[in-house]
Chain A
């Protein structure tokens, strides 16, 4: 029961974006996808989301090749938060959230929306017009929308959440709030893949880390295995030091 890429390669014209990438998103586990700009992180997320098909290799959702599942079947088992486009028309926040509800009754929707809005600290935004929100507020709403899609489907059924830089517009405290919400999702047996630029956040909240550079997986495993000075320095092309902070009790990454 995983969302899996096996030997997936992707090319745009002559450029190789991903080269034989293999990766598992496992229910209940938060996997952070890290790496420098242009490493292929977003492309990998789009492959796993079924937006594009790999040139070779394959993507399987709980053993079934993605190509054999129609968009709705995929939508009931995995949700995606990408970098979002503007919404042109004047939808309210609660209407935007309701779009994330792919199946289930209105009572369940109301209850789940209340619960997630509280956890995501967006309750006060519900009656607002989406277009009047700030960039960070929009990102929080989109995160809750993505969570709503897979939050309570058939209790224990495996489902997956793909997040592409969900914290890029968030301030420090909302960053933590968002990642705590992601951990909460993992406790509900949702498998999470989250693209992060902040390695400290990855070290703190991820169970596993996949380091991607130049379209290939450089290293993967728990944070303290992947986050080594040499590997990070090599991947990012700038000097990076990792130390274990004694009072915080976790890895801290310095540049």
Chain B
């Protein structure tokens, strides 16, 4: 399947994907991820040598490494994986290259869930100690709610066309904006700081305690999505065609939507909204390994983790010791790419 370049030489994208074999390419992406992790661990407001990374060092360096930087890098990688994998799955499910957890409102749904918990959580009598668990749950619920609504609405009133999805996404994002605005209005100073953090995205609050539940949710959801690679391929032929080929389409939709919402919700719950990773990374991965999901999903997961770790590295080093929100970095790179994408996928 991966023999040499085809006879018809068209755009670079025609020959690029199949030069090395696809598993080898995913291996290369894995090595690049390792390189990104090492670079992100070594650089920051407090410089660390490789000796420190290997566990030498003492006192301050050790604390910086173990308690601040390492969890932060791990969290960035997890969030990037979650966004990239669910972006890939949603694009496959909607058979729409413009689908993205952010554009269609899933991320804002998760943010509204998290913010609701921040502002109302204390009123419900939940102690601060339960926050690592109740916050992700609330964010997942918000993301799932939005995804289900989107699915039901599009199914009922016009199928999964590009226009429907994007317009409904705009409406959902606007409604989420209203909810967030109301919470901003009623929240006190401390809560307001938390709110702003959710909206801009940051991995700066990473602690191991916070990461554990998030890692479990994201790993489980990504694994289930990965196992649905072939049904997602078959779905590209059309829904009836996928059914003819033995896919239980309804069940597939439910699972993909639920798992994407879980992964994104868990990611947003601890890092806030990180824009464009879920949209852009699947496309880069598709250019590299082609559209078959069994290669595409692992490639997107690796690439998503690596790029998000690097984006976070940029966010915390360009203005060190201060840091800029990571979403500024990802959006600054992702938005131009998105425009290029729109120009490229116009109907012929």
Contact = CB atoms under 8 A, between A and B. Distances in A.
Interface of A: 46, 49-51, 70-76, 79-80, 82, 84-85, 87-92, 94-96, 98-100, 102, 127-129, 132, 149
Interface stretch (B1-9, B166-174, B180-188, B260-268): B1-9
Contacts of B1: 94-95, 98
Contacts of A79: 244-245
A75 to B, nearest CB: 3
A246 B348 CA distance: 48
Interface in B4-25: 6-8, 10, 13-14
Given A84-B237, A85-B238, A127 B7 contact: yes
B16 to A, nearest CB: 11
Contacts of B246: 71-76, 102
Given A82-B240, A127-B6, A128-B6, A91 B245 contact: no
Contacts of A75: 244-246
A132 B247 contact: no
Interface in B278-297: 286, 290-292
A129 B10 CA distance: 11
Closest 9 CB pairs of A and B: A75-B246, A85-B238, A72-B246, A89-B291, A127-B6, A80-B244, A71-B246, A88-B95, A71-B248
Residue among B233, B246, B249, B290 having the largest count of chain A Cβ atoms under 10 Å? B246
A63 to B, nearest CB: 20
Contacts of A149: 244-245
A99 B245 contact: yes
B245 A100 contact: yes
A95 B243 contact: no
A129 B286 CA distance: 14
Nearest to A79: B244
Nearest to A78: B244
Contacts of A85: 237-238, 241
How extensive is the interface on chain B, given as a class?
20 to 34
Nearest to B292: A95
Nearest to A101: B245
Given A71-B249, A128-B8, 11 more contacts: A72-B246, A74-B244, A74-B246, A76-B246, A82-B244, A88-B97, A89-B286, A92-B290, A99-B237, A127-B3, A132-B10
Interface string B214-254: 00000000000000000001101110110111111100000
B290 A90 contact: yes
A90 B11 CA distance: 12
5 contacts: A72-B248, A76-B246, A79-B245, A90-B286, A128-B8
Given A91-B292, A99-B233, A49 B245 contact: no
Nearest to B5: A127
Nearest to B97: A88
A74 B97 CA distance: 31
B155 interface: no
A98 B3 CA distance: 15
B96 interface: yes
Nearest to A89: B291
Contacts of B236: 87-89, 91, 99
Contacts of A73: 246
A96 B237 contact: yes
A151 to B, nearest CB: 14
A82 B226 CA distance: 28
